[in-house]
Amino acid sequence: MTYEAWRISYQSSEQAARAAYAECVRLRAKIDEMEKQEPVAWIVAPSSRPFWGEYARQDAESEAQWCGGTAKAEPIYHSTGAPSVPECPYPCGWRSLLKLAIEDGAYLARHINEDEPVTENARTVTMRMVLRLRDVLMALNNAAPEAKP
């Protein structure tokens, strides 16, 4: 809703103030509900580096201290309206798929030089990465609420 449409819908500043207050109360209740949950991850701001797992909080706080006090570790909560993580399109799972992508990327970084011809093995690794990316994007697209009729 644009500001103009919002302003037209309220005839007085009293109505606008009540509507704004009601929205603040609604958002405060949502924040309180989220903060009752355990964080799903921790993030170091402003670098936005996420940490997951059993020691996520300790790792994020260590990273924040390493930044010389300019960063802060913040919890990330699962929003009640957020969709769940889609199923990985590969049987190995998301973590193993990430590991494979990193390994393939490192291989390509080591073996492709600007002035040298691309080897058949590098082509194969590149195609494998592209196909994995396609499958992951298709899985995410299928899981997105706006993608469903």
Query: What pLDDT tens digit does each residue of the chain (149 aa) get?
Result: 566 666 666 667 777 778 888 888 998 888 888 778 787 788 877 666 677 777 788 888 887 777 766 777 888 777 666 556 777 788 888 788 888 888 888 888 888 877 888 888 888 888 888 888 888 877 777 776 554 44
Q: Are 72 and 100 found together in one domain?
A: no
Q: 51 Cβ partners below 8 Å, 6+ apart?
A: 41, 42, 43, 44, 57, 59, 60, 63
Domain count of the chain? 2
Cis peptide upstream of residue 46 (ω within 30 degrees of 0)? yes
Q: Which domain holds residue 49?
A: 41-76
On whether residue 82 sits in a domain, the answer given is no
Q: What single-letter DSSP state applies at residue 47?
A: T
On whether residue 133 sits in a domain, the answer given is yes
Residues paired with 74 in a beta bridge:
43
On whether residue 15 sits in a domain, the answer given is no
Helix (H) or strand (E) holding 43: strand 41-45
Strand ranges of the sheet holding 49-51, from the earlier edge strand across to the other edge: 49-51, 41-45, 72-76
